[in-house]
Amino acid sequence: MIREAQHDDIAMITCMLRRMVEDMAAVGGHAVSQDESDWKEFANVIKNQMTDKKYQYLMADLNQSKEVVGCTAGEIIMLGGVFAPKKILHISAVYVFPAFRRSCIASQLLEALMDWGRTEGCQLCDLNVNVHNPARRLYEKYQFEEFRLQMVRAL
């Protein structure tokens, strides 16, 4: 079952997003902070975002036990300035605990988040994914296409 996150989900969301960046680091992403105070601060950021209508946090529960198995997060971005106005849903996180992967839980989370974005009037949905992350296949399944290339080099 997919549902909107509540205040008492914040610790679980923080835990899942910490695991998410650890998984991302294992496939070529940036190393993860080991400083506990950074994660406390991050929990605070989530808490503040949950009271802001621009953000949406969704949880996936197992139907029978109500055990939390995954989550996703999105933010509405207003393109403006030198660009023509456009409302974009930016997907900032998707995570499913390893034991529950490949059972369409992330798919259900993404569909519910994109439905929310459509309801909010977004015309486009975007996200970032590392080139070696197998999550790319999930996004390709949902017709996400490469749009911008981020280039890096050592200094």
Ligand X SMILES: CC(C)(COP(=O)(O)OP(=O)(O)OC[C@H]1O[C@@H](n2cnc3c(N)ncnc32)[C@H](O)[C@@H]1OP(=O)(O)O)[C@@H](O)C(=O)NCCC(=O)NCCS
**What residues line the site for ligand X (CB under 6 A)?**
20, 23-24, 94-96, 101-107, 129, 133-135, 137-138, 141
User: Minimum distance from CB of 70 to ligand X (Å)?
Assistant: 6
User: Minimum distance from CB of 126 to ligand X (Å)?
Assistant: 12
**Cα–Cα distance, 99 to 84 (Å, whole number):** 44
**Cα–Cα distance, 115 to 6 (Å, whole number):** 19
Nearer CB in complex with ligand X: 111/120? 111
User: Minimum distance from CB of 133 to ligand X (Å)?
Assistant: 5
Nearer CB in complex with ligand X: 122/129? 129
**Cα–Cα distance, 8 to 18 (Å, whole number):** 17
Contact predicate 39/33, CB 8 Å = yes
